[in-house]
Structure 1
Amino acid sequence: MEDLEIIGSEEWCIFEGLGIPAIKARVDSGAKTSSLQATNIKVFIKGAHEWVKFEVNPIQDNRSIAIDCQARLVDRRTVKSSSGISEERYVIKTPMTLGNQTFDIELTLASRDTMEFRMLLGREALSNRYIVNPAKSFVIQDFTTTEVTSKYSNYFKEKTGLKIAILASNPELYSNKRLVEAGEARGHEMVFLNVEHAYMKLDAHSPQIRYRGGNILNEFDAIIPRIKPAVTFYACALIRQFDNLGVYCLNSAEAITQSRDKLFASQLFSKNDIHIPITGFAKSPMDTKDLIKMVNGAPLIIKLLESTQGKGVVLAETNKAAESVINAFKSVQTNILVQEFIKEANGQDIRCFVVNGKVIASMQRQAEKGEFRANIHQGGKASIIKITQEEKKLAIKAAKVMNLAVAGVDIIRSNKGPLLLEVNSSPGLEGIENATGKDIANSMIMAIESKLKVAIK
């Protein structure tokens, strides 16, 4: 024990063989094997042996730096994640430098994008070498921000001249941070604009948009709207103003407005022969019983017209309960839709992410036991799924009817075939990126480049 070197709860590691000059690792003696964040993992044959190539984003919250790595595959192991889910992982063996020591360690390749550290250093690597003092950090070696930047200087890309704004409310949301990362990774200048801090001047000669403090916003090439429901009206007014000033908006104000109006959207879907669950809408309480009967009775779904992310959605399990809920909403002059309940879906639905007329990723969402909505932020579980051609065509057509360049299209499988649930004009990225491993944010930035005819070297 006296001969063992003390190590902190986090340390900087170097992998010269993989081309990684510095990566911050969480030291975890509770984990047997060390693991490394990796994406785009592919196995190939080299000299009669299996090898694996993969990408590593070594700096947390910065996907602009991606290192291509390859190593010989030494094993495949079933590993249980911190969330209790078992998965098969590839295992490699490679030299690691920690301070003055260099030694071989085994690493499992895993998606650690949602974790605080891109590497976990397990007890097999620590055994007979180190003793952990969890109260300290960077005992062996520490790098300053300047030093880390210098080590990765060759990976930074030159600016292309595009200036892109994220028009939203919270810069700390995963989706907004990812879009900023993706844009910067492709060499663009990314700016976050708070919807409520912008205001406009309406004038035939010199229309303007200004930002808190009086700064005139006149240098943007494109806007990515990420609009929460509470500010839809004001945000869409800003988007129209940006459009009037010649700024490209990834989703137009008109498209966002109609996607948020569930009744209008349902009418558009019906008009364009897009199949949805049977839906009813009425004004008078006198029509409640027939409204319930029209959608095949209870159980049925009751939705607020302006609900999002599963909020304002109620399952009424009996006709009596349905009457009570519907009449309660009507008594306070709240507009609702009544929709048939697709029992055979078993709490599952499919989210298709559509960008410029193509489905770039799909995931299946499973509701928690006892719940009927599969929204991820409400406890639903996401997993990758291969959709059918019919479902793909449905998703693309729905986004086209809504005139949305970017859309999250929700589909449910029924005995009658796939049915469209709704189309979201500001779909979240976290659930689908984590479930599929795809860089959705990058695809959105590329959609802007394609529209503005910008070529990235």
Structure 2
Amino acid sequence: MTENKIVVGSEEWCGLPQINIPAIKARVDSGAKTSALHAVNITPFKKNGNPWVSFEVHPLQNDGKTTIHCEAPVYDKRRVKSSSGQSERRFVIKTSISIAEDTWEVEVTLTNRDSMGYRMLLGRQAMSGKMLVDPESSLLLGDLTPDVLETYYSTNIIKPTGLKIGLLASNPDLYSNRRIIEAGQERGHDVEFLSIKDCYIKLDGKNPEMHYRGGRILSGFDAIIPRIRPSATFYGTALTRHFEAMGVYTLNSASAITQSRDKLYSLQLLINSGLPIPTTGFANSPLDTDELIKMVGGAPLIVKLLEGTQGKGVVLAETKKAAESLINAFKSLRANILVQEFIKEANGKDIRCFVVNGKVVESIMRTAAPGEFRANIHMGGSAAITKITPEERRIAILATKTMGLKVAGVDIIRGQNSPLLLEVNSSPGLEGIEGASNKDIAGKMIEAIERDLKFKRP
């Protein structure tokens, strides 16, 4: 029997009337057994002697301001494995779902789905006997306009009661930037995206000012989160330095970002702290090419542009002849390069440790895509959470401290005898680590600001 079933696409709007959610966009996933709802501040309590749970739902994607406070009886507590392979114990509630003028009861688990995009996942248990899925289509039952959503949720928008935070970056649509804004809003802060290219400075000994497009003066900010792309390092750190001069707290300082972006200087600082790195050479004269290759143990070897990042400007030279050609070509272009030993036993894998305020909050193992030697998710690689050794933890924390950073992504490879430090990134991406761990890493960054500014949430 198919004639009475609702035909849906890969995403559809639905409602959860019993918990006062008129509209939420769900990812329709017949591969998942259980349905899941994005919930935060999940708190169990007793009502008339029975177990209940209270929680908050942010029903709209990329929006941490719109908040619904919910309560429901606890139906079950169940161990569920997420799409990232992580197993967690979740509260399960039973509630009604409304789709296409039909309503029925479903089981829903409560979990933080910040890193997943969709605020709800509709599993096959909830669809059984009711729905047919056309995975090539979406929103077959219609889309909801911003105006309609505003009529639904206008009274549920949280007014900021916390800090005024500026996110200084280039692309508001980047996953990491969207998540940081959302995490700040969820915690009651007023978070504004500040485009690096649209900021400009007034240098005045008595009254320094930061101006924004159209002549607006940027004032009243409690904190700035600088996330500066490599091509904007000079201007972005100048802006960060100016905010510091105006007495605004910055999550990473301009000087720390500047030295972390200088690959040669950062390696010199790291080895001065006793941190282990792959053998690395740096030379200016083409006459020294042969000696430079021998210095790092011969081919295969890695050639790195000093200003490269996210795997760009990093080349593997598999033979001595290829290494000579590559090094001399870069030198003829007057490009500054590092030559580094190639750690074969790493086998295309590295560890990214995400450090916030002196603690490793999560670690992932990144694996290179087939045919690639660099473990980079932007180049088709994969990531999974991993357990790090005490020595790897020590390296990550000391490297971040050496660079003077409060937030950093520290890249480590496992050599034959010990771990080796590759790089310290002052603007680490969140997509790979949140996707693999299903953790609110952006929230950890906001909490670090709250802690440093001694802010207590109401």
Is 1:174 aligned with 2:178? no
What secondary structure does 2:214 align onto?
coil
Take 2:79 and 2:457, find their aligned partners in 1: how far apart are those partners? 37
Aligned to 1:207: 208
Take 1:141 and 1:305, find their aligned partners in 2: how far apart are those partners? 48
Aligned to 1:159: 161
Take 1:130 and 1:394, find their aligned partners in 2: how far apart are those partners? 52
Aligned partner of 1:149: which letter? Y
**Alpha-carbon offset, residue 55 of structure 1:** 7.8
Aligned partner of 1:401: which letter? T
Higher deviation after alignment, 240-249 or 143-152: 143-152
**Alpha-carbon offset, residue 88 of structure 1:** 6.7
Q: Is the 8 A contact 2:35 2:125 kept in 1?
A: no
Aligned to 2:14: 12
Q: Which runs of 5+ in 2 are unaligned?
A: none
Please give the per-residue CA displacement for 1:39-65, whole angstroms capped at 9, x wherever unaligned.
7899x9x9xxx9999986543223454
Q: Is the 8 A contact 1:157 1:185 kept in 2?
A: no
Aligned partner of 2:94: which letter? T
Q: Is the 8 A contact 1:51 1:73 kept in 2?
A: no
Q: Is the 8 A contact 2:383 2:436 kept in 1?
A: yes
Take 1:403 and 1:433, find their aligned partners in 2: how far apart are those partners? 24
Match runs of 1:39-50 below 5 Å: none
Aligned partner of 1:419: which letter? L
Please give the per-residue CA displacement for 1:48-101, whole angstroms capped at 9, x wherever unaligned.
xx999998654322345486877444977889x6xxx87778895724232665
Higher deviation after alignment, 32-41 or 302-311: 32-41
Aligned partner of 1:12: which letter? C
Aligned partner of 2:152: which letter? V
Matched residues, number? 443
Aligned partner of 1:238: which letter? L
Aligned partner of 2:405: which letter? L
TM-score by length of 2: 0.85
Q: Is the 8 A contact 2:116 2:435 kept in 1?
A: no
Aligned to 1:252: 253
C-alpha spacing 1:205/1:302, structure 2 compared with 1 (3 Å):
same
Aligned partner of 1:98: which letter? S
**Alpha-carbon offset, residue 24 of structure 1:** 2.2
% identity of equivalent residues: 52
Q: Is the 8 A contact 1:347 1:374 kept in 2?
A: yes
Aligned to 2:382: 381
Q: Is the 8 A contact 2:355 2:400 kept in 1?
A: yes
Aligned to 1:290: 291
Q: Is the 8 A contact 1:93 1:104 kept in 2?
A: no
Aligned to 2:61: 60
Is 1:369 aligned with 2:409? no
C-alpha spacing 1:112/1:314, structure 2 compared with 1 (3 Å):
same
C-alpha spacing 1:319/1:185, structure 2 compared with 1 (3 Å):
same
Higher deviation after alignment, 274-283 or 58-67: 58-67
Aligned partner of 1:193: which letter? L
What secondary structure does 2:312 align onto?
coil
What secondary structure does 1:213 align onto?
helix
Take 1:206 and 1:456, find their aligned partners in 2: how far apart are those partners? 32
Aligned partner of 1:339: which letter? Q
Match runs of 1:231-250 below 5 Å: 231-250=232-251
Take 1:296 and 1:26, find their aligned partners in 2: how far apart are those partners? 54
Please give the per-residue CA displacement for 1:390-415, whole angstroms capped at 9, x wherever unaligned.
11111010001000011111111111
Take 1:437 and 1:78, find their aligned partners in 2: how far apart are those partners? 11
Take 1:166 and 1:447, find their aligned partners in 2: how far apart are those partners? 15
Q: Is the 8 A contact 2:226 2:250 kept in 1?
A: yes
TM-score by length of 1: 0.85
Aligned to 2:150: 146
What secondary structure does 2:14 align onto?
strand
Q: Is the 8 A contact 1:288 1:323 kept in 2?
A: yes
Q: Is the 8 A contact 1:348 1:366 kept in 2?
A: yes
C-alpha spacing 1:131/1:334, structure 2 compared with 1 (3 Å):
closer
Take 2:419 and 2:325, find their aligned partners in 1: how far apart are those partners? 30
Higher deviation after alignment, 128-137 or 297-306: 128-137
Higher deviation after alignment, 109-118 or 254-263: 109-118
Aligned to 1:322: 323
Aligned partner of 2:257: which letter? I
C-alpha spacing 1:415/1:51, structure 2 compared with 1 (3 Å):
farther
Please give the per-residue CA displacement for 1:358-415, whole angstroms capped at 9, x wherever unaligned.
1111111011122111111111101001111111111010001000011111111111
CA-based RMSD: 3.5
Please give the per-residue CA displacement for 1:172-206, whole angstroms capped at 9, x wherever unaligned.
11111111111111111111111111111222222
Aligned to 1:355: 356
**Alpha-carbon offset, residue 448 of structure 1:** 1.3
Aligned to 1:418: 419
What secondary structure does 1:177 align onto?
helix
Take 2:441 and 2:122, find their aligned partners in 1: how far apart are those partners? 29
Aligned partner of 1:200: which letter? I
